[in-house]
C-alpha cells in the first residue's frame, strides 16, 4: 500500500464517520508524514489525522453506530466508556502495520484520531524507476 493510499484509507473512513455522526462543524487536521518502521524492519512513513466536531446528546447511541460502521468496513472496533468526563471511546488497532483509529465522544465534543498504515518510504530513485518524470 502506498503512503497516499494509506492516508486515503483513514481519511475516507473518517468522512463516512462524520456523515454517520450528522456531518457539519468538523475541523480537519492532517500532519506531514512521519517516520515509522515496517514489520520487516525497513523504514516507512505514515500520517496522523485528526478531526474535531460537535458532541451528541445521545453520544452512546452515536458511538454504537460508528462501531457498526467501522465493523461493516472491516475494522473491528471495541467500544468502552472512559471514566474521565463520561466519554465513550470506539477504537481499532492493528498491531504490526501501525493502523490506529479512535473516536472519543460525549455530549460536548467528538474527536477522531487516526494513524495510517506504515507504508514503504519512496525515494527519488524509486520514483525514477517507476517512471515518475516529475523531477527535472
Reported as a single tens digit per residue, the pLDDT across 24-70 is 899 988 888 999 999 888 999 999 999 999 999 999 999 999 999 99
The answer to whether residue 133 scores a pLDDT higher than 50 is no
- The predicted pLDDT at position 130 comes to 53
Q: The C-alpha cell of 80 is what?
A: 468502552
Residue 73 CB-density burial (10 A; 0-12 exposed, 13-18 middle, 19+ buried): middle
Residues 57, 100: Cα–Cα separation, whole Å: 26
Tell me the pLDDT band of 114, cut-offs 50, 70 and 90. very high
**CATH number corresponding to 3-124:** 3.30.2030.30
DSSP one-letter code for 47: -
Of all residues in the chain, the percent with pLDDT exceeding 70 is 88
Q: The C-alpha cell of 124 is what?
A: 527519488
- The predicted pLDDT at position 131 comes to 53
- Contact indicator for 82, 89 with CB cutoff of 8 Å: yes
- The predicted pLDDT at position 122 comes to 78
- The predicted pLDDT at position 123 comes to 67
* Domain locations in the chain as residue ranges: 3-124
Amino acid at each position: 500500500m502506498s503512503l497516499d493510499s494509506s492516508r486515503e484509507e483513514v481519511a475516507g473512513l473518517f468522512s463516512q464517520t462524520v456523515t454517520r455522526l450528522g456531518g457539519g462543524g468538523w475541523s480537519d487536521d492532517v500532519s506531514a508524514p512521519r517516520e515509522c518502521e515496517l514489520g520487516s524492519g525497513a523504514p516507512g512513513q505514515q500520517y496522523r489525522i485528526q478531526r474535531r466536531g460537535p458532541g451528541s446528546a445521545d453520544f452512546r447511541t452515536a458511538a454504537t453506530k460508528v462501531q457498526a460502521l467501522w465493523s461493516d468496513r472491516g475494522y473491528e472496533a471495541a467500544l468502552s466508556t472512559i471514566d474521565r468526563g463520561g466519554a465513550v471511546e470506539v477504537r481499532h488497532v492493528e498491531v504490526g502495520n501501525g493502523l490506529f483509529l479512535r473516536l472519543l465522544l460525549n455530549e460536548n465534543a467528538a474527536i477522531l484520531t487516526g494513524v495510517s498504515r506504515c507504508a514503504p518510504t519512496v525515494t527519488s530513485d524509486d520514483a525514477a524507476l517507476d517512471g515518475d518524470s516529475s523531477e527535472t
